[in-house]
Chain A
Amino acid sequence: MDDMEDTTIFSTLKSFKSLISGPDHSLLETEPAYGRSDLQKLYTKRVELEEAAERVRSHTSLLQLTQEKQQMELSHKRARIELEKEAHSSSRDLQREIDRNRELLLKIRRLEEREEKANQALNEQMENNKALKRNLEELHKKANVKDSKLTEADQMISELKDETRRLNQKIQIQESKFSTQNLEIQALQEQLDVQRKKYQDVSQRYQNLQSSHSISTESELKMKELERRLALQEQDSVIVKNMKSEMVRLPELEREIKRLREENCFLRETKENNSLLKEETEGLRKKLERVERVMEEKLKAELEKEKLEQELQAWENIGQAAGLNIRKPEDLSREVIQIQQRELNLKQQNYTLNSRLKQMLLRVAAENKKNEQQQKLEMLLDSRRERDGMRAILESYDSELATSEYSPQLMFRVKEAEDMLQKVQAHNTEMETQLSKAQEEAGSFKLQVQMVKMTLYLYTCMCLFFRQKIEELEAERQRLEEQNNILEMRLERHNLQGDYDPVKTKVIHLQMNPTSIAKQQHAEEVEQLRLECQLLRDRIRKIEAGGGVTKDDTTLIIPPSQEILDLRKQMESAELKNQRLKEVFQKKIQEFRTACYVLTGYQIDITVENQYRLTSVYAEHMEDSLLFKSTGPVGSGSMQLLETDFSRTLTGLVDLHLFHQKSIPVFLSAVTIELFSRQTVT
């Protein structure tokens, strides 16, 4: 890096040198064009020499400066190296010191621990000492106590010895007493023996007495007993006598007993039989009741059967009577249907007949009317004829009367005629009555026919109605059956799927079941992963933003490798070097620029690439500046003046020095002189 910087510095210096030396070459090249006079030549040569000397001087100064600069750099480098070495060594020393420090600290700690232990041991020893002292004291106390006790015991012993002496004396006295008493005892014992003997005698006598007493009492008792026995025996004899009389009856009694026993057995058996029979009778009674019920039912059933048979017979008879082939109800229904059809036919016929009847009646009525009319007419005619006849007869009779008196014959004929008339009238009335009767019968027949029609109509209506109902019910039944099937299938399906009736069943499971545990674990895992994601995202964001090693929770857990640390150190050192070189460069440039400004009188600024702005130290205004542009390849030093406001004011100098003399330094110095003169004048 130093080399790089050195090269850059050198390159800039070279460019400066070339810049500075550039116009020299150009001037030197354009020199021989001007050959006016020797003085001028001398002057010009002098000026040139001076300029050259100046140049050389400046060059040398530059070289010196560069050398100084290089030396300074070298010294800097050396100083830096030395400083670094020192830093390294100091760091090493520091490390060593740190290690030593650590070791010393460890030692101190160990020593402290040892001290502590020693202290503890000391304390323990002290405590042991104390304890031992205490024990000693206690033992001393115990010894004292024991001594006191010993003295006491000695005292006690002495006292006891005195007592023993006394007691011994007492014993002796007692022994003497004892011996005397023994003698007395012996004497008494002899007396006792004597007394005993006496006692024994007396006791024997007493015993004898007692025995005799007892014997006497026993004999008395015996006597009493014997007397009692005697009495008893007398009673017994009496009893025996009685018993004998009774004994005679004994076999009879025995026989009676046997008989009674047999009767007893027999009665017991009969009792058992009775109970059995009672049970049997109960059972039979119940059976009887049942049988009677059954009989009644049988009768009823028979009656019903008879009725049904009759009905059946009736039905069969109907069939037979009707002359039909009836064996099954289907036949009957068929017949009924046929009959109904026949009925319909008959109805139709009836209707037709009725219509015909009506027609007939009308005709009859008409005919009757006609007949009546005819009859009337006939009657009239008859009556007329009769009248005429009668008239004729009467006339004849009148004529005859005129001649003879045929009045009885006339009367007779009149009577006959009247009889005839009456007969005819009676006949007429009879015919009329018969006609009315016939009419009445016809009316009644009509009524009957109408009744029959009505009943038939009603029956057919009912039949149709019932048939309709039957069809509807059949259709509903089928529909309901289908619904039932569908519902059953649905129910089966639901049962397979696991449905249940909440009223009768409930579903339970363990609270800690594998599914709930797995769901919990899953949720926890997801939460953990989310947190990790968040952390990683934060870390990535910080790394992208920071760019370097961040010292907080988001740092990578991977320990940085040695290479990375070395590279980081190198980077830091390089950056430091860069910074230092930049500072130095800046300083040097600033120095150089100020030197140029001071020495040449112009401040040279690079405004744009290849453009240089020169501001004179004696400029009247801040904006007065000359712009030069570098033409040609970089480093060749060929410059051109660009137009500015200030340069327009210096057109004379520009023409003279640049166009004719083609020397920029001359121009610049002329400008300086001009401005200086302006300033000093003003």
Chain B
Amino acid sequence: MSKTLKGITLKGSAELVAEFFSFGINSILYQRGIYPAETFTRVTQYDMSLQLTTDAKLKNYLTNVISQLKEWLFDCTVQKLVVVITCLETNEVLERWQFDLECDKTFFLPDQCKYESIQEEIRSVIRQITATVTFLPLLETACAFDLLIYTDKDLEVPEQWEESGPQLIDQSEEVRLRSFTTTIHKVNSMVAYKRTNST
């Protein structure tokens, strides 16, 4: 891994970011209760304990998306990754976790290994995701999630993928979370949720 290299390469950065997304999405699914808590198992990553799903179908889906995302990160053609949480009964979008990606193609190899600092930043972002549960409204109805990727217009869409709408929330509140950077990729996190009528 990039731990042993002196600096970060484009490939290593893409792998780091893809790994972060894999664990981040799992954390979101666990925290928001999209899948029952007993289908998750505890693993250690970034020097903290995180939840990872054991559902085979879900794992398969996530691996598909993340592997494709890694390729696109290497080509620097992906702009955003969005986790959309929809209510099944009303087909309304209730939450949107958006991760903006900025790719710096004119990178230069730094002298020192910055893996520890990147890990620290990722740790703080995931801790913040866990903390957002305190102010997000409860998801009372059965929900399902979807992963959307914003890419360049001229990108060739692979076979199993299709174009979709942005699935925006009607009347939303947005909160900006922490960001982290690997000097090649910069990831900004934010969450938008549907405003609840406080009566």
Q: Are A497 and B88 in touch, CB under 8 angstroms?
A: no
Binary flags per residue of B82-94, CB closer than 8 Å to A gives 1, else 0: 1010101101000
Contact of B146 with A by CB under 8 A: yes
Q: Are A498 and B161 in touch, CB under 8 angstroms?
A: no
Counting chain A residues whose Cβ lies within 8 A of the other chain, the interface size class is 20 to 34
Which residues of A are interface residues toward B (Cβ below 8 A)?
493, 495-500, 502-519, 522
Q: Which of B11-19, B44-52, B169-177, B179-187 contacts A (4 or more CB under 8 A)?
A: B169-177
Identity of the chain B residue whose Cβ is nearest the Cβ of A494 in the assembled complex: B168
Q: Are A512 and B160 in touch, CB under 8 angstroms?
A: yes
Q: How far is the CA of A61 from the CA of B166 in the complex (A)?
A: 105
Chain B residues with CB under 8 A of A508: 148-149, 151, 157, 161-164
Kindly identify which residue among B144, B168, B174 contacts A519, using a CB–CB cutoff of 8 Å. B144
Which 6 residue pairs are nearest across A and B when measured between Cβ atoms? A518-B144, A496-B174, A515-B146, A515-B144, A513-B146, A508-B161
Kindly identify which residue among B65, B148, B153 contacts A504, using a CB–CB cutoff of 8 Å. B153
Identity of the chain A residue whose Cβ is nearest the Cβ of B176 in the assembled complex: A496
State the main secondary structure of chain A at its contact with B.
mixed
> How far, in Å, is B26 (CB) from chain A's closest CB?
13
Contact (A499, B145) CB under 8 Å given A512-B160, A514-B58: no
Chain A residues with CB under 8 A of B152: 504-506
> How far, in Å, is B184 (CB) from chain A's closest CB?
20
Which residues of B are interface residues toward A (Cβ below 8 A)?
58, 61, 64-65, 79-80, 82, 84, 86, 88-89, 91, 96, 98, 100, 142, 144-153, 155, 157, 160-169, 172, 174, 176, 190, 192
Q: List 12 A-B contacts (CB under 8 A).
A: A502-B153, A505-B150, A505-B151, A507-B82, A507-B164, A508-B161, A509-B149, A510-B160, A511-B160, A511-B162, A513-B147, A518-B144
Contact (A507, B174) CB under 8 Å given A496-B192, A515-B86: no
Chain B residues with CB under 8 A of A510: 61, 64-65, 147, 160-162
Contact (A498, B61) CB under 8 Å given A506-B151, A507-B148, A508-B162: no
Kindly identify which residue among B64, B96, B153, B160 contacts A505, using a CB–CB cutoff of 8 Å. B153
Chain B residues with CB under 8 A of A514: 58, 61, 144-146
Contact (A518, B88) CB under 8 Å given A493-B174, A507-B150, A509-B149: yes
Q: How far is the CA of A522 from the CA of B190 in the complex (A)?
A: 30
Identity of the chain B residue whose Cβ is nearest the Cβ of A513 in the assembled complex: B146
Identity of the chain B residue whose Cβ is nearest the Cβ of A508 in the assembled complex: B161
Q: Are A515 and B84 in touch, CB under 8 angstroms?
A: yes
Contact (A499, B148) CB under 8 Å given A508-B157, A510-B160, A512-B61: no
> How far, in Å, is A547 (CB) from chain B's closest CB?
40
Identity of the chain A residue whose Cβ is nearest the Cβ of B164 in the assembled complex: A509
Q: Are B192 and A498 in touch, CB under 8 angstroms?
A: yes
> How far, in Å, is B112 (CB) from chain A's closest CB?
33
Chain A residues with CB under 8 A of B172: 497
Chain A residues with CB under 8 A of B61: 510, 512-514
Identity of the chain A residue whose Cβ is nearest the Cβ of B159 in the assembled complex: A511
Kindly identify which residue among B58, B163, B164, B168 contacts A498, using a CB–CB cutoff of 8 Å. B168
> How far, in Å, is A363 (CB) from chain B's closest CB?
86
Kindly identify which residue among B65, B91, B166 contacts A507, using a CB–CB cutoff of 8 Å. B166
> How far, in Å, is A522 (CB) from chain B's closest CB?
5
Q: How far is the CA of A505 from the CA of B77 in the complex (A)?
A: 10
Chain B residues with CB under 8 A of A519: 88, 91, 144
Chain A residues with CB under 8 A of B88: 518-519, 522
Contact (A506, B65) CB under 8 Å given A497-B172, A515-B145: no
Chain A residues with CB under 8 A of B100: 495
Chain B residues with CB under 8 A of A495: 100
Q: How far is the CA of A518 from the CA of B161 in the complex (A)?
A: 18
Name which of A497, A512, A514 has the most chain B CB atoms within 10 A of its CB. A514
Chain A residues with CB under 8 A of B168: 497-499
Q: How far is the CA of A178 from the CA of B151 in the complex (A)?
A: 107
